[in-house]
Amino acid sequence: MESFRYFTVSTVKEACTLLAQYGEDAKVLGGGQSLVNLLKQNLISPKYIINIKDVSDLNYIRFDKTDGLRIGALATHRSLETSSVVREQFPILTEMEHTLASLPVRNWGTVGGNLAHADPASDLAPTLMALGANVTLAGATGERVVSMDDFFIDYFETAIQADELLTEIHIPNAGKGSGCFYKFAQRKTDLAVVSAATYLIVSSKDRNLLKEIRIVMGSVGPTPLRSKNAEDLLKGKPITETLIEEAAGISANEAQPVTDINGSEQFKREIIKVIVKRVVKEALSRGLRVRAKIT
Ligand SMILES: Cc1cc2nc3c(=O)[nH]c(=O)nc-3n(C[C@H](O)[C@H](O)[C@H](O)COP(=O)(O)OP(=O)(O)OC[C@H]3O[C@@H](n4cnc5c(N)ncnc54)[C@H](O)[C@@H]3O)c2cc1C
């Protein structure tokens, strides 16, 4: 491992000041679960490491009925997994975190680090995209909010500029819908071979109609991919088994998998078909149960 200069900061301002000065040559250190591996393998050799783990202002999970859910970048996967408010309002996040890596990785790894690392096999990224989340990026001159739809640029590349820090994830909807995440992996806590997340809202007038739906596929492209044609097919139409089957076929075509040690391109398209169908059906049945409780 190359040597580097190491800073520990305790405020966002301090971190941003250092990033403004050294950004191009610096790396932010969160829980270190991905960064340390990259350093050890000499895949990256930054001159400066800025440890933000002591920035206590970035470690929170807050829910408000009108504002939705806000998660500080330093909240760990484990804190999301065990949060009672998350389980009540967005059980899809609890479900997803439950199979994200091993317990030690979930204890150390942060949600901000997971998104900034931008591994196309991330479980968190497609789930947050399905939830319509956005992220706040802070720099020395101010903050900006970026939709998750625009956040991922390419393999391991995001909209975060060299002088910016990811500070918060915001899910603006107030938990009125229902979702489902499913990961196909060698073992249930391994990185995804293929994954899919969906979040939908059943129409309040007609239980057979979907008011909104987002379907996002993971590990089948350089970034998480929205399956927009499948969403369009399902939105506003009476939902039947055949329509879901057709939508899943469209998702398989929209996916951009590549052949690798985990399977061929064709195999991954087949799995996408199966799991998109599964998550849509499960989210729908959860949505109908939620509606039955309300009405
Ligand atoms: C054995 C193992 C198994 C795993 N399995 C899974 C899995 O099944 N599913 C899954 O989704 N993930 C998995 N992961 C990835 C894991 O979730 C991430 O490594 C972790 O969440 C990254 O968070 P971190 O805080 O450790 O980030 P770090 O390792 O500290 O940082 C990762 C990257 O993000 C940058 N960064 C960190 N925080 C910020 C910030 N606030 N603002 C800007 N940039 C920042 C760093 O500079 C670095 O480039 C696995 C990792 C390991 C080691």
pLDDT digits (tens, 9 = 90+) for 103-140: 999 999 999 999 999 999 999 999 999 999 999 999 99
pLDDT category at 291 given cuts 50, 70, 90 is low
pLDDT category at 294 given cuts 50, 70, 90 is very low
Task: Specify the DSSP class assigned to residue 247.
Answer: H
Q: How far is the CA of 15 from the centre of ligand 1 (A)?
A: 18
80 lines ligand 1 (CB under 6 A): no
pLDDT tens-digit map of 43-73:
999 999 999 999 999 999 999 999 999 999 9
Q: Are 266 and 253 in contact (CB under 8 A)?
A: no
The span from the CA of 249 to the CA of 227, in Å, is 11
- H helices of the chain, where? 12-22, 35-40, 77-82, 84-89, 91-98, 103-108, 111-117, 124-130, 148-151, 228-234, 241-254, 265-294
Question: How much is the average pLDDT of 242-254?
Answer: 97
Q: Which of 152, 61, 65 shows the shortest CA–CA distance to 111?
A: 61
Using the atom order of ligand 1, give the atom closest to the CA of residue 122: 11
Q: How far is the CA of 186 from the centre of ligand 1 (A)?
A: 20
Question: How much is the average pLDDT of 184-193?
Answer: 93
Torsion from C-alpha of 48, 53, 56, 59, nearest 10 degrees: 120
pLDDT at 288 over 90: no
Please tell me the predicted confidence (pLDDT) of residue 289. 78
Model confidence, pTM:
0.96
Three-state DSSP class for residue 146: strand
163 lines ligand 1 (CB under 6 A): no
